[in-house]
Structure 1
Amino acid sequence: MSDCQIRGLVQEGVIVSDVSWGPRQIQPSSMDLRLGPTAYRLRSSFLPLSTPVSDILQDLSLYSIDLRTSSYLERGAVYLVPLMESLNLPAHLSAKANPKSSTGRLDVFTRVITETGDRFDDISPGYTGRLYLEVFSRSFSLRVSQGLALCQVRFFEKRDFLSEEVLLDRHRRSPLFVSDGGAVGINPFDRITDGSLYLGVKLTGMPIIGFRARHDAGILSLVPGDQQKATDFWEPVPPPTRGEMVLEPEKFYLFASSAKIRVPIDLAAEMLPFDAAAGEIRTHYAGFFDPGFGISGDGARGVLEVRPHDVPFRIVDGQPVFKLRYEKMDREPDLPYGAAIGSSYTHQGLNLSRYFINDFFGEAPR
């Protein structure tokens, strides 16, 4: 569902909040979900299953934190935050949540939980009740506040994914990705197959090809209006001499996609978990592209959030590390993704999260 339809859900009482709505809370095909006034430090993550969340909190909660005072969430600790929004979904409507791009680029893992739910982020048709956000920051301790949006939710009457045949036809008529060599491209790994768009990682052609999270960093503030120097939290990754490099296990990296991505305004795109057989790495946290992403000009690069698991892992320039699945919008959004709505990553290259002043050579390379 698009922005105009989501506004209709608010007017109909399908989406409810006791707090007034934010001016940019509704995006082209999603709605931002905001932190409520209280966070609970937990002993562990959980799924409610048949037990109400309030009952589980009595057992798992160690203490509560007042987010109205801009409090701190420790790195490596699990928190649960009741959100400001709740839902009264009709039987034909479902929803799915995911971290915002700015959240995923911070190595902050978020998952939405529903009352008696048996899956993270998936909200069943007809769900009525509160929403809760599990927050786990792996690289940085965070300063957060009530009303901060770390995740977003999308709504569906049905999901209509494009087949490989349709994807290829759309790509021939108007490219869905553009490699550095043009629409045809020079990277043999960039391809459409199995109903998805497979794209690689860019390790050459830029003075900085990636960033690695610093483990000696201080507290990262996400409070609106606060910004900090990127060099205090990130280490630059220079281009490797032979177009290949070894990633350290359990370190967090940001890289750019080898090709620039384009999402027509009648489509949305979702980055899927990559096949473990192709490498023991996690390549996204957020993984959602709004209608209109990169559509003007020759596209925008996807920023890849990469964490190798267990063992060092070698990657080479152009190696496929993620895939996109395109699906049809029920209606084109009134305001597609782009500068007109203040989108943070319009025409992006290797962009850091919006919470940083990028003092690596002024601007991140594109």
Structure 2
Amino acid sequence: MSDADTQPLLPELALPRDAQSGVWPAQRLKAALARGEIQTIEPLDSQQVQPASIDLRLGPVAYEIAASFLPGPQLTVQDKLPLVTQRKISLENGAVLKTGHVYLVPLMETLQLRKRSSGVANPKSSTGRLDVFCRVITDYGVEFDQIPERYTGPLWLEIAPRSFHVKVRQGSRLSQLRLKTGTPPSSNAFIRRLDEEVRIVRDEDGPANVKDGAIALSVDISASGGSDLIGYKARKVSEEIDIDKIGHYDVDTFWERVYRPKEGGLILHPDEFHILATKEKVAVPDYLAADMVAYNTMVGEFRVHYAGFFDPGFGYTDGIAEGSKIVLEVRAHEVPFMVEHGQIVGRVTVERLTHPTDAPYGGAIGSNYHRQSLTLGKQFKR
């Protein structure tokens, strides 16, 4: 056999060495905890380390603040906090965070990253599906949810419930952190070759739409799953939702069911929050991680998907790539906007891991949205 015969089909997809670029899998995150790159005030909770991310836990207090802010390159979060704090709230026994208010909570995890190490944060799926807007802030930060290279210091979480009052407590996990070494590639050519090899996005209507290093996803309002149900719209209610309860709440108390329009598209009105699903299915192998690209004004006057991480193993069952639909969290902006079946609503970027994760997404690790289709947050009865 020649040397050429032993080369990988796609050399750029070959697993990188430790010194090369890649997202950290579960075992690398555990090593970072052991080495002190990630530090915790309290011992880790079970299942806190995910296939390629770590859940971040709320600390013992929350600050209701008058306005969101970034500390800027010269100040810490603690430096600016007194300027906007309205009241301090204990979370030790739980507290209700109200819609229309903004809160800032110190997290129980801190970082001491090394050279070439950086990160990005995102709300957990269950957080986004409750329309709870949250963003991680760092000391000297100039961007939300971005952890700069070699960052050393605390993490804070800004929380703004939009549709429902939510009860949280010390240890509640609303956000997650993905860490990486270097800058993994994400060019159009890389993504196209990768999708041809492993079919990350599965669309019966044709090949993947790749642009700007990402794969397009579109909305399903034709009820292609065999039911007329295409989504849910949040009701205006006064009841609170305990974010840590699982399978507890009746769907119809908090959600209005949305059915396929008889003709045309689905009209989204300002300040309404919808749960919809993609037309395509996504499958992420155990050596890759995917992320939903932030809202782009070119796709319409609405925001899609607060919670953007898709873990390695998502859409796989017993090692077989079946694919799972992506649940879309959709909120219209200033004007009513009509979305139609197959309209592009977002894009997915893909990055390789430093090594395949030893804990792929799925039922074996207790993933809440394994084999999901049109699925509400874990707090609701199924």
Relative to the length of structure 2, the TM-score reads 0.89
Matched, 1:351 2:375: yes
Q: Which residue of 2 aligns with 1:252?
A: 273
CA distance in 2, matches of 1:58, 1:193: 44
Amino acid paired to 1:44:
A
CA distance in 1, matches of 2:119, 2:26: 14
Deviation at 1:195, TM superposition (A): 2.2
Deviation at 1:163, TM superposition (A): 2.8
Deviation at 1:95, TM superposition (A): 1.4
- When structure 1 is superposed on structure 2, of 124-133 and 216-225 the one drifting more is 216-225
Alignment CA distance shift 1:114-1:327 (3 Å) = same
Deviation at 1:172, TM superposition (A): 2.9
Amino acid paired to 1:195:
G
Matched, 1:114 2:138: yes
Alignment CA distance shift 1:226-1:304 (3 Å) = closer
CA distance in 1, matches of 2:193, 2:142: 38
Q: Which residue of 2 aligns with 1:364?
A: none
Unaligned runs of 5+ in 2: 1-23
- Decide whether the 8 Å contact of 2:246 with 2:378 is kept in 1: no
Amino acid paired to 1:273:
A
Equivalences for residues 1-366 of structure 1 within 5 A: 1-49=24-72, 50-179=74-203, 185-186=204-205, 191-205=209-223, 206-224=227-245, 227-296=248-317, 297-358=321-382
CA distance in 1, matches of 2:244, 2:316: 31
Amino acid paired to 2:101:
A
CA distance in 1, matches of 2:148, 2:195: 33
SS of the residue aligned with 1:209? Answer: strand
Post-superposition Cα deviations, 1:42-96, rounded to whole Å, max 9, x if no partner, equal: 0111111122222322221111111111111111100000111111111321111
Post-superposition Cα deviations, 1:115-145, rounded to whole Å, max 9, x if no partner, equal: 1211111111111111111000111111111
Post-superposition Cα deviations, 1:130-164, rounded to whole Å, max 9, x if no partner, equal: 11110001111111111000001111111213432
- Decide whether the 8 Å contact of 2:48 with 2:55 is kept in 1: yes
Post-superposition Cα deviations, 1:192-231, rounded to whole Å, max 9, x if no partner, equal: 3332110110111332101111112411111345721111
- Decide whether the 8 Å contact of 1:214 with 1:235 is kept in 2: yes
SS of the residue aligned with 1:340? Answer: helix
CA distance in 2, matches of 1:138, 1:231: 18
CA RMSD of aligned residues (A): 1.6
Unaligned runs of 5+ in 1: 180-184, 359-366
SS of the residue aligned with 1:68? Answer: coil
Deviation at 1:342, TM superposition (A): 0.7
- Decide whether the 8 Å contact of 1:162 with 1:328 is kept in 2: no
Identical positions, percent: 40
SS of the residue aligned with 1:356? Answer: coil
Relative to the length of structure 1, the TM-score reads 0.92
SS of the residue aligned with 2:229? Answer: coil
Alignment CA distance shift 1:108-1:281 (3 Å) = same
- Decide whether the 8 Å contact of 1:201 with 1:318 is kept in 2: yes
CA distance in 2, matches of 1:12, 1:172: 38
